[in-house]
């Protein structure tokens, strides 16, 4: 992985390489607080987006391919509390021009996600 972009650094994201996938960790801190004691929805969405991009980059394996999100849908299932938040993504479909990725964020229990995102990408191959 390359250096993280500024927004990922603001979120203090950390990456764990799981071999065939990548897991992101976002620790709870002041920059991710929305209403007192809860994560901001934008921070959760950012975490999901970074997980989706990373999984897609890994699946494509060619940094020259331009990935443009065309549709982003985030479902918020429960409030994020003051604890570490994790996210992973799966590439559901990878075609020549389109990719569909699903990302999930959770805290203590992966079986109880706090949010999920579906992101469709337009791929521009060199």
Q: What is the chain's mean pLDDT, rounded?
A: 93
pLDDT at 111: 96
Contact 122, 98 (CB under 8 A): yes
The token pair at 93 is 């479909």
Give the confidence band of 1 by pLDDT, cuts at 50, 70, 90: very low
Contact 11, 26 (CB under 8 A): yes
What would the CATH number be for the domain defined by 6-124?
Answer: 3.10.129.10
The token pair at 38 is 């809860």
Pairing of strands 14-17, 22-26: antiparallel
- Provide mean pLDDT across the span 82-90: 96
54: Cα within 13 Å, side-chain hemisphere = 28
Which position has the token pair 């996938």?
Answer: 21
Every domain of the chain and the residues it spans: 6-124
Give the confidence band of 18 by pLDDT, cuts at 50, 70, 90: confident
């Amino acid at each position: 992985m390359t250096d993280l972009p500024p927004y990922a650094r603001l979120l203090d994201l950390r990456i764990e390489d799981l071999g065939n996938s990548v897991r992101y960790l976002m620790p709870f801190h002041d920059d991710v607080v929305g209403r007192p004691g809860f994560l901001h929805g934008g921070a959760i969405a950012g975490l999901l987006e970074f997980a989706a991009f990373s999984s897609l980059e890994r699946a494509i394996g060619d940094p020259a391919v331009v990935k443009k999100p065309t549709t982003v849908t985030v479902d918020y299932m429960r409030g994020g509390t003051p604890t570490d938040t994790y996210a992973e993504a799966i590439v559901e479909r990878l075609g020549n021009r389109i990719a569909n990725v699903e990302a999930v964020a959770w805290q203590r229990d992966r079986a109880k996600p706090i949010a999920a995102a579906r992101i469709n990408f337009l791929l521009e191959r060199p």
